[in-house]
Structure formats: C-alpha cells, structure tokens
Chains A and B, each alone.
Chain A
Amino acid sequence: MDPKFRPGDKVLVLQRDQPGHVRTPMYVRGKTGVIERIVGSFPNPETLAVGHSGLPYKMLYRVNFKQGELWDDYDGAPEDTLEIEIYEHWLAPV
C-alpha cells in the first residue's frame, strides 16, 4: 500500500458525521494540518471494533496542527502545536 501523503504535505481532516468506533476526534475535523510522519498501515478500527477483520488496512499518519488552527481563542504561545494520528480515509489534500 503506497501512502498518498508525504511528510510536510498540507492536509484537511474531513468534516464527516460518522457513527461508531471512529478514532478521529471532533476537534480536528474540518481543520488543516501538516503530515508529520507516515506511521504505516493498520487495521481499520472502524470495522475492527465491531467484530470484522479491519481489512483493508488503512494508512495511518501523524498530523501536526497549530493550536491556533484548532481553537480560535487558544491562549498559549503561537508556536504551540498538537500532534495526532489520522487514518488516510479521513484526510484530503489541501
């Protein structure tokens, strides 16, 4: 499986309502970040959690966000960041 994104790529986390065992927290949906690293391919937790195989595997990335992008009123330092793991099917190129 070839990763669609490379470290440094700008990505948008999809704003999607999806019930079930979703590992993409609400606070990053619709936000723009940068690929920090490619983690590798892992079983899809959305199907694995409900008794299925988790196949096909999904590519997983660590995505870096500026805190100011996540929270309009963030009151820490402007350089502060947050990193989180996002599966490829939740990401779109920017």
Chain B
Amino acid sequence: MSETHDHSHDHSHGHSHDHPTHTHDGKPIQEDPLPSLEAQILEASVRELLIEKGVISSDDVRRAIDQVESRTPALGAKIVARAWDDPEFKEKLMSDSDEALMAFGIDMRPTELCVVENTDEVHNMVVCTLCSCYPRPVLGIPPAWYKRRDYRSRAVREPRAVLREFGTDIPEQKQVRVHDSNADLRYLVLPQRPDGTDGWDQEKLARLVTRDAMIGVSDVLAPADIDD
C-alpha cells in the first residue's frame, strides 16, 4: 500500500489505491491489478484476426482450452502413487522424466519436468517469481494463489512463514528448498509416502496425494483422512 498513506485507516478495506509498488512496512506488494482493458482487447483482436485469416479456427481455440482444462491434479497424483509403489518407475521419473511420463501420455515439450523429492532432511516447494510457470501437463491449471504476487514474492523471501500460513510447519532442522521455476523446467514435488500405507495399491495411494502437496505447500493426506 502506499507511500504517503494514512496509518489511521482500516486495513481491511477494499484497497482502492492505484497499483502500489511496496507496502508501508517495506513488504513486497500483496495485490494484483486486474488485466488491463488494453490487454483484453489485444487478445480478442489477435484471436479474431488469426481466425479471419484462416490460421486457426474457433474450434481449434475451443479444443485447446478443453484440452488444457481436462488436465487435473489427479494425473499428478497417479504419477506420485506409481513412483511410491514402483522403484524402477521412480528411478526413471527422477532421471529421465520425459520417458517416464510417456506411460501416462504426457508430453511436456518444449519444457521438461524436474521432479524434486521430499526426504527426512529436505522439504521442497515450488514458485515462479517471474510469472506463473506451472507443470500444467501433470497438474492442470494453477490455483489462483500460485499466480498472485504475494505468493510469488514471499515464497522465495520467507518460505517458512508462507508454509505456516498454509498450515505446514517444517521443523528447524529440516532444510526448506525453494525452486524458482523461472525458465525451461517445470517442477513436481514428490512427497514422502506416509507410514501406515503398506500394501496399498496405487489407486488408493493416489487418493492421499493433493495438488498442494505436489506444489510443496502442504503434506499429503494421512491414511486416516480417507475412507476405505
């Protein structure tokens, strides 16, 4: 919020300030402006021109949206469950994810998937500070908070505080490793398999694996959290 602002006012109001660059206490900006009208008009104009000139059709646009939206975190959960259950698959997923993902009909190109594994010593979390890069082919569309400036700026600056706000307390002796997804890789966190799941099949294991656990802002569900 702003520069010359009146500290007596109520901070819970609707934030009608123009887009500030910092908060009064020096914290990074917390709010996003809406897309500009100009950007919306530009998108519509380019799309309509491409259709009018026959480069793409309306159906191509619809199909592309349909395809993007058909991907959900359930797919990522299947991959994690298989990695928990099948050491050979896990090995391939960690070393040559392209080939491992082929079994799921997933093509990450032109990006590559980088799988980062949580252990007793390390907790991984993912952010894209520059925009909103996200492993869409395996997790679908990112949650709104993943694209917000407050998550993007704070996840690299004070990850433990952000994790606590997600209800995730990482013990001091465990390393928090933040991955800034800023270029050509996309990241998937491979959470730790919970105790008490011996003998579970992959389908049941997958039910424990949430989207947030694969971004690294929370743990997976506990075995007691799901019905048999």
Interface range on chain B: under 10, 10 to 19, 20 to 34, or 35 or more? 20 to 34
For the complex, what is the distance from the CA of A82 to the CA of B112, rounded to whole Å?
19
A52 at the interface (CB under 8 A from B): no
B185 at the interface (CB under 8 A from A): yes
Contact of B179 (CB < 8 Å), options: A39, A79, A83: A83
Interface range on chain A: under 10, 10 to 19, 20 to 34, or 35 or more? 20 to 34
Which residues on A sit within 8 Å (CB–CB) of B157? 27, 71
Query: Closest approach, in angstroms, between the C-beta of B175 and any C-beta of chain A?
Result: 4
Q: Chain B at the A interface: mostly helix, strand, loop or mixed?
A: mixed
Which residues on B sit within 8 Å (CB–CB) of A25? 129-130, 180, 182
Do A85 and B175 form a contact, CB below 8 Å, given A71-B157, A76-B159, A76-B160? no
A80→B180 contact, CB < 8 A = no
Query: Closest approach, in angstroms, between the C-beta of A3 and any C-beta of chain B?
Result: 15
Do A83 and B176 form a contact, CB below 8 Å, given A39-B185, A71-B157, A76-B160? no
Residues of A within 8 A of B (CB): 23-25, 27, 39, 42, 45, 60, 62, 67, 70-71, 74-77, 79-87
Residues of B within 8 A of A (CB): 112, 114, 129-130, 156-160, 172-180, 182-185
Given A67-B178, A76-B158, A81-B176; 7 other pairs, CB 8 A cutoff:
A25-B180, A25-B182, A39-B185, A45-B183, A80-B159, A84-B180, A85-B182
